[in-house]
Chains A and B, each alone.
Chain A
Amino acid sequence: MTSIGTGYDLSNSVFSPDGRNFQVEYAVKAVENGGTAIGIRCKDGVVLAVEKIISSKLLKPGANKRIATVDRHVGIVSAGLVPDGRHFVSRARDEASSWRATYKGPIPTSALANRLGGYVQAYTLYSSVRPFGVTSIVGGWDSEAELAVDGQVGSGPKSGAGGKVDGAKAGGPGLYMIEPSGLYWGYYGAATGKGRQAAKAELEKLDLSSGKLSLLEGVKEAARIIYVAHEDSKDKEFELEMSWISSLDGPTKGRHEEVPKDILEEAEKAARRALDEDEEEEDKGAGEQMEE
């Protein structure tokens, strides 16, 4: 950071001569220290997972949730400053409920990501505020079935003019990641926080763009990836928190929910087993080399 001390990093919303906003870059640094958070977009749902570093033995295990529900069908997980993440979620909930007040239906994941992106970006424009110290992953499932309008009481006449396209494909999984600059992209697999590099390398191996990975496999992979990403900070204990959103005929019926305890434990067991096997192979490899 050669530009430190030049004065262009003292106020938010100020460009440096080479076109950078240093306050935003420092916010990204805050994110890079946070526990790893990932999201996987599967063919029949979305998985969110986060590595929660246990900062005190006095914290109750399983309490202090880091993944939040927005409306019914969207989940948000953040890496970085936890209070900033909470405020971000609160804004997301307001956006979702105001969407419902206007359109009498659930907000599409893409529209929510767009509004949140706009909200975060606004915090890079003013000297009176600082940017968000979080990168957030927004996962959701947009209903593939035709939804009734909120409060609808009947379905109207069965014959007559309709104007509906038969067999039009609608809905499906959505996964977006929003950065402190307000930049957001849609992803097949997203990772942020301390272990993002390792996590991204693992996500790339999954061939997510082919749309073959099922939600249950996704849960197993997510658990494994968080365990892999934790390898670099092995000295600290952590807790794995996972949530998922399935299709309407899946286990959560289009809702964002915590992954049930038994499935979570099984996925964690499999993750530990996979890590041990990797280590054994490495040891074996090292041993063979020694013999040569």
Chain B
Amino acid sequence: MDHFPGTWGRPRNDVYGAYDPSYLQSTGPKTHTTSPAVTGTSVVGVKFNGGVALATDNLASYGSLARFTDTKRLRVFGDQAVVGFGGDVSDMQYLDRLLESIDIRENYSSHGNMLNAKNLHTYLAKVFYKRRSEFNPLWNHVLVAGFDGEGKPFLSSADLLGTTFSAPHLATGFGAHLAVPILRRLFPEEKPIEEISREEAVDALKQCLKVLFYRDARSLDKYSIAVITKEGIDLKEDEQLEGQSWAFAERIKGYGAQTV
């Protein structure tokens, strides 16, 4: 008879080796919040004369598996703001519901939702900062697009640490490396946003998404694009990247079964 209840029901030490009691520890840091699970990749945004354009692809990856291919990562808030989400998809869903509850509360008053994109960005950044300070971060990097209090186009980012950053064009994730240089070439700093047309902005986003699809292994050629102007939000969620050319791929060396 084994008189030590702590060892009952456990694999026998003489067969399986001594049990590692560290697995039973209930103290120590919580670690399950320290990595995302199902993720979306880049978000790209550009300000233009009279508005902002924002785009993401429609993929949610589970690690390297392309798990969901019809994911809507651009979320509309009120009638003048859009949030583009990169990072963990379930955290995005949580934030989407949070924003929905705020929109419902805003509409209790008869003037309707008065929060603009700038207010929304400030709020989201504070939510991110609070959660990272609790060591329980929301694993996202978002772009908020719309208008500020003076009615000027607004585009700004907030990340899982609560860091905020603003620029006439922005990209998160892989896009920060691959799309921003393209956007800087197309829209140099000297060029005021008043000289950028809606068509130019949309074309630039498509070009960025195409390059991202070529080079980012967690991306997709199906995408969503939102154009926010004073007239409202034009959101398309089932777009296909046109005019792909994979000719460059032949020249890529150093991967797979190549011997040279």
Residues on A facing B (Cβ under 8 Å): 65, 68-69, 71-72, 93, 97, 100, 104, 150-156, 255, 258
Contact = CB atoms under 8 A, between A and B. Distances in A.
B123 interface: no
Contact of B71 (A71, A97, A104, A153): A153
Given A153-B71, A153-B73, A72 B92 contact: no
A69 B89 CA distance: 31
Contact of B93 (A65, A68, A69, A151): A151
Contacts, number: 43
Contacts of B72: 153-154
Contacts of B107: 69, 72, 255
B94 interface: yes
B4 interface: no
B68 A151 contact: no
A69 B108 CA distance: 5
Given A104-B97, A258-B110, A153 B68 contact: yes
B150 to A, nearest CB: 27
B96 A151 contact: yes
Given A153-B93, A154-B71, 13 more contacts: A65-B110, A68-B108, A69-B108, A71-B104, A72-B104, A150-B100, A151-B97, A153-B73, A153-B92, A154-B70, A154-B72, A255-B107, A258-B110
Interface class of chain B by DSSP: mixed
A97 B70 CA distance: 28
Interface string B73-108: 100000000000000010011101100110010011
B238 to A, nearest CB: 10
Interface residues of B, number: 20
Nearest to A63: B110
Nearest to B58: A154
Contacts of A154: 58, 60, 68-72
Nearest to B100: A150
B97 A150 contact: yes
A73 to B, nearest CB: 10
A258 B100 CA distance: 21
Given A71-B104, A97-B104, A155-B70, A150 B96 contact: yes
A242 to B, nearest CB: 12
A143 to B, nearest CB: 15
Nearest to A243: B110
A112 B248 CA distance: 60
Contact of A151 (B70, B94, B104): B94
Contacts of A104: 97
Contacts of A151: 92-94, 96-97, 100
Nearest to B108: A69
Contacts of B70: 154-156
Nearest to A96: B104
A72 B70 CA distance: 27
28 contacts: A65-B110, A68-B108, A69-B107, A69-B108, A71-B104, A72-B104, A93-B108, A97-B104, A100-B97, A100-B100, A150-B96, A150-B97, A151-B92, A151-B93, A151-B94, A151-B97, A151-B100, A152-B93, A153-B71, A154-B58, A154-B60, A154-B68, A154-B70, A154-B72, A155-B70, A156-B70, A255-B107, A258-B110
Given A65-B110, A68-B108, A69-B107, A153 B60 contact: yes
Contacts of B89: 153
Nearest to A106: B104
B81 to A, nearest CB: 17
Contacts of A68: 108
Nearest to A255: B107
Contacts of B69: 154
Interface in B38-86: 58, 60, 68-73
Of A71, A150, A151, A255, most B-chain CB atoms within 10 Å = A151
Contacts of A100: 97, 100-101
A97 B98 CA distance: 11
B224 to A, nearest CB: 11
A93 B89 CA distance: 28
Of A68, A69, A97, A153, most B-chain CB atoms within 10 Å = A153
A237 to B, nearest CB: 22
Contacts of B58: 154
Contact of B101 (A69, A97, A155, A258): A97
B103 to A, nearest CB: 8
Nearest to A151: B93
A68 B107 CA distance: 10
A100 B101 CA distance: 9
Nearest to A71: B104
Nearest to B96: A151
Of B60, B89, B97, B104, most A-chain CB atoms within 10 Å = B104
B88 to A, nearest CB: 12
Of B60, B100, B110, most A-chain CB atoms within 10 Å = B110
Closest 3 CB pairs of A and B: A151-B93, A154-B70, A151-B96
A152 B92 CA distance: 10
